[in-house]
Amino acid sequence: MEQFDGYTYVEGGVCAAKGFRANGLNCGLNPDKEKKDLGMVVSDRVCSTAAVYTTNKVKGAPILVTKRHLKATGGKARAVIVNSKNANTCNADGEAKAERMAELAAAELGIPTDEVVVASTGVIGHILPIEPIEKHIRELTEGLSYDGNAKAAQAIMTTDTVQKEVAVSFRLGDVTCTLGGMAKGSGMIHPNMATTLNFVTTDVAISTELIQKALSEVTKITYNCLSIDGDTSTNDMVCVMANGMAGNTEIRTEQEDYACFKQALYIVMMNMTRMLAKDGEGATKLIECTVSEAGDLDTAITVAKSVIRSPLFKCAVFGEDANWGRILCAVGYAEAEFDIHKVDVDLASAKGVLPVCRSGSGKDFSEEFAKEVLSEDEIQVRISLHEGDVSATAWGCDLTYDYVRINGDYRS
């Protein structure tokens, strides 16, 4: 992982920060008893809480319930309950079931129902059986621990092949603070937001208003720059909970401590974004596209995302074919204003850098070296617009035979 001055990667995911417990288990939603399908994260203290959600007009019932809860509490929460295997979306009884999940968690934890965030992921349009959750809620809460992060991370996985966790520690004045998170997502991922469930916890003391501002701004340059397959899900959510247990002076203004907190949030969310892209359904390669020397941030983001979303280019990466014309084509149809005749493109990996385009025109290169560069499992696309000093990065993966296979029998 990329290193950042003043920030140290630590273990623990959502339990890395002080005062957070977690757990995960199989309650029976997933018939494979070896796979966890119900998870929980709980703070010892009430948290300033912020969230961003899917832009799909069809929204999962848990999102509607969570929005109501956070509005009722003014952005305060203590716990997250989440299930996989069933999205609880497009069901007539969906909101009642989501509310019941919150009630069950609240009753066991002895907290108000409105202080529970609810999330679900899995198949859309299937009725969510509430009985397995009712039957196992006590076991779930009794098993909460300060090192239960891995169990919770496993409980939110669907077609993911690996659990996704990252955490960092940093200093605010003379106080050591920690921020960590877990994520799930492998397919049906497309801006804006990417199709994922993401939970971030921190022991920083920060106002609800500023945590929401930081989350919205960091989401724009991380999760909103992630695309696997062009489909935007109905259940996307990023939730950040801050319990203040590090003991720093509460961040209420956009000063130095706020910038340090926001950078920590960026580091965790950026790394989880990369993990999500690399674990795309059927993926064999991570694609990272960085657009530099843009005139403004929106242009840089738009061009980078356009390349990452191109099915033809994704197929070329899978085939290890340096078909750079597909990159320039995607740059050209990006909805942004710039001079295509200034554009430079390089392909890069651990094997080296391959210049393929200068000033909008092709550059001779060795096909043998190109194959060597593209044989790696992490491929970089570097695009220079030569119109300013702003840059942005987007993340995606190659498009493979296995993507079709996985989604051809997803419900089974």
The number of CA neighbours under 13 Å toward the Cβ of 77 is 32
Q: Which residues are registered as beta bridge partners of 49?
A: 241
Provide CB contacts within 8 A for 28, sequence distance 6+.
37, 129, 132, 135, 136
Q: Sign (positive/negative) of CA torsion 353, 223, 165, 177?
A: positive
Cβ 269 vs Cβ 219: under 8 Å: yes
Burial of 367 (0-12, 13-18, 19+ CB in 10 A): exposed
Cβ 310 vs Cβ 316: under 8 Å: no
Cβ 291 vs Cβ 381: under 8 Å: no
Q: Sign (positive/negative) of CA torsion 153, 405, 59, 98?
A: negative
Compute the distance between CA of residue 258 and CA of residue 251 in angstroms, rounded to an integer.
6
Q: Sign (positive/negative) of CA torsion 307, 310, 312, 318?
A: positive
Compute the distance between CA of residue 48 and CA of residue 27 in angstroms, rounded to an integer.
30
The residue from 195, 196, 201, 202 that is catalytic is: 195
Nearest CA-CA partner of 77 in 110, 44, 114: 114
**Is position 195 annotated as part of the catalytic site?**
yes
Which residues form the catalytic set?
A: 195
